[in-house]
Structure 1
Amino acid sequence: MAGRLSRMGMTGELIAEFAGTMVLILFGVGVVAQVAAGGLGDHDSIAWAWGIGVMLGVYVAGRTTGAHLNPAVTLGFALFRGFPWHKVLPYAAAQTAGAFLAALIVRWNYSEVLAMVDPGHTIKTQTVFSTLPGNGTLPVTMWGGLRDQIIGTAILLFVIFALSDTTNMAPSANLGPFIIGLLVVGIGMSFGTDAGYAINPARDFGPRLASFLTGYGGAWRDQYGDLYWWVPIVGPLIGALLGAGLYQLCIARFLPPDEDRDTVKPSD
């Protein structure tokens, strides 16, 4: 019976991660399709819709799993917060599958508009689904994109660790998703130029695969012809290690325990 309950619990967790990530990508990829193919909105629309997507995805999965929605977040919690290692790959698979299905839905829904704007399904609209260095137009190389992904994801994990640390000033449970959504809006508005702020391997690989299977033959390469698909996977994983590790090193180890936090005041 215990084993059966354990399996049922794991199934529920994977469904929650799948559903939460799917909601995130429906809003995120959907808004890029609307801006790039439909001509409605601008960069601010994209930043805000991605943040809203993250917020709503966290509300969907938060009670069940804490709503990682991102293999980089899952890795960070496994490395520094005691998340079980045997769940890391299943969580990443569920997140990627949710992103893949959401991208297929957006691809289907915007099929007529994408065909009108970009009949050959080229790099012109590839950024609807996956990221490119310099967003496909600016002079940023693959290595610049890797640097950007490491930095952006390090910021994401550093702040997520702060927001989820009950010995720090963590927001109440129902407010946490809203603040995390604002965090993603801020990253998008500050670090969106060099590589489109994927900061999430599932967010990029799932939609990239969906676009490849539906007509985007160049989905794995960037505008220079280099294989780029690995950058938004490797960069965020390295960034997760750095961001989460720096939080533990620079902040967490100096915080008072939960029972002391209301009585300990900052020193003069």
Structure 2
Amino acid sequence: MPGLFEFWNRKKRRDSTLSSQTMLSCSGTDPSLTRAAFAEFIGTFVLVAIGNGSVAQSQLTNGEKGNYFTINWGWALGCSLGILISAKTSGGHINPAVTMALAVAKEFPWKRLPAYWCAQYLGALAASSTVLGVYYEAIMNGKVNGEFKIQKDSSDPGSAAIFANYPAPYSSASTGLMEEILSTVVFMLVIRVVTDRQSKVPSFLQPLYIGFTLLAIGVSYGSNGGYALNPARDLAPRVVTLFAGWGSHVFSFRGYNWFWIYLLGPHVGAILGIGIFNLFLKSDGTMDDTRSESPCIDLENGYGKELDVIWRLNENRDIEPDMNKLDKENPPRYSVAYASSRPQLGRGLSCPVVTSNR
């Protein structure tokens, strides 16, 4: 039976690769909505806990144990780890803007969006509350005359900037919005490129590429007003500061002219990013002469859309099978069945379940 074991090992490798290619879609394993939402909660919690924690450590030690560079790395690593934790169960969105963009592009079911959004915002809320608890004594040290430093008409948000984004004194709202949209367009483009099935990026590298993209955006477009790219990452911590003593000025900062930028900008940027990908960069689905590591099955015709499927399953590998005469003259050694629980990949394609005919 060595041939069967060899085939089974190849099949497992192909299934593993194919599962990784469905990241940031509905799911890699079609879990229940409850499990998917919990994964989004945990993934977003990790993102915000590490990101805001890196800001707190830098600001509250006056740069002694951190700086802008470590903050960028904190958010990048938090993003990578959050996706890594949640990807196999929920798709690893951990971002309401990403979830909505996928739904608009019909790559994610709208009926799941409310649960994902709730989980993402609650995860960010829990994470920022945790950071507040961990650094509570140090934050209390930053009070001025018994109050937090942020005041009405102040240009300095003080320790509130640990949790949410605030603009530099010279930044205008139009600049902030343009920067947020541009950054999220780039972010979403990279997400769709590295998770596209035709890109064949290994699953273990996908979170790293996405995290490095966040790092690149931070070191290039972070000084004007921060870089949220994620509404949950900004709104939920801002709500925490609202009730934790900073008051309503966390929203009215600059005359209510900034907090909405971190809500609108990421959504617009993510939709534009996935639109650009689908219009100009996405593969048309045709297969080239190279054999894919993750072949799929044409549900409409019942045959391998990619000849490599039958090539690998066929006992005679020296001759490419004639698809028109396959059933009568050159039957495959293994038959293909379809499991409805397997994720659909679009264009009538689904993952094959292979069983032996002998």
Question: How high is the TM-score relative to the length of structure 2?
Answer: 0.67
> Is 2:116 aligned against 1:91?
yes
Structure 1 alignment gaps of length 5 or more: 1-7
Q: Is the partner of 2:246 in helix, strand or coil?
A: coil
Aligned partners of 2:207 and 2:160: how far apart in 1?
29
1:60-209 matched pairs, under 5 angstroms: 60-119=85-144, 120-121=147-148, 122=150, 123-134=157-168, 138-167=169-198, 169-209=199-239
Aligned partners of 1:141 and 1:34: how far apart in 2?
28
Aligned partners of 1:27 and 1:156: how far apart in 2?
19
Partner of 2:343: none
Q: CA shift at 1:159, angstroms? A: 1.0
Partner of 1:232: 262
Aligned partners of 2:106 and 2:83: how far apart in 1?
18
Q: CA RMSD, aligned part only?
A: 1.9
What whole-Å deviation, never above 9, does each CA across 1:62-118 have from its counterpart, x for those lacking one? 100110000111012112252001111221111010000000010111111112124
* Larger RCO (alpha carbons 8 Å, 6+ apart): 1
Q: CA shift at 1:227, angstroms? A: 4.3
Give the number of the structure whose residues are more often helix, by fraction.
1
1:43-58 matched pairs, under 5 angstroms: 43-58=68-83
AA in 1 matched with 2:272: L
Aligned partners of 2:39 and 2:276: how far apart in 1?
29
Q: Is the partner of 2:252 in helix, strand or coil?
A: coil
> Is 2:35 aligned against 1:12?
yes
> Is 2:42 aligned against 1:42?
no
Contact 1:160 1:180 in 2 (8 A): yes
State the identity as a percent: 32
Greater radius of gyration (CA):
2
Aligned partners of 1:52 and 1:129: how far apart in 2?
17
Aligned partners of 1:37 and 1:133: how far apart in 2?
19
Q: Is the partner of 2:108 in helix, strand or coil?
A: coil
Contact 1:133 1:144 in 2 (8 A): no
Aligned partners of 2:57 and 2:252: how far apart in 1?
23
Q: CA shift at 1:230, angstroms? A: 1.6
AA in 1 matched with 2:136: S
Aligned partners of 1:261 and 1:145: how far apart in 2?
46
Aligned partners of 1:132 and 1:85: how far apart in 2?
32
Aligned length: 251
Contact 1:153 1:243 in 2 (8 A): yes
Partner of 1:244: 274
Structure 2 alignment gaps of length 5 or more: 1-30, 151-156, 293-358
Aligned partners of 2:200 and 2:221: how far apart in 1?
24
Aligned partners of 2:259 and 2:140: how far apart in 1?
23
Aligned partners of 2:84 and 2:202: how far apart in 1?
13
Q: Is the partner of 1:206 in helix, strand or coil?
A: helix
AA in 2 matched with 1:162: V
Partner of 2:308: none
Question: How high is the TM-score relative to the length of structure 1?
Answer: 0.88
Partner of 2:290: 262
Aligned partners of 1:77 and 1:186: how far apart in 2?
23
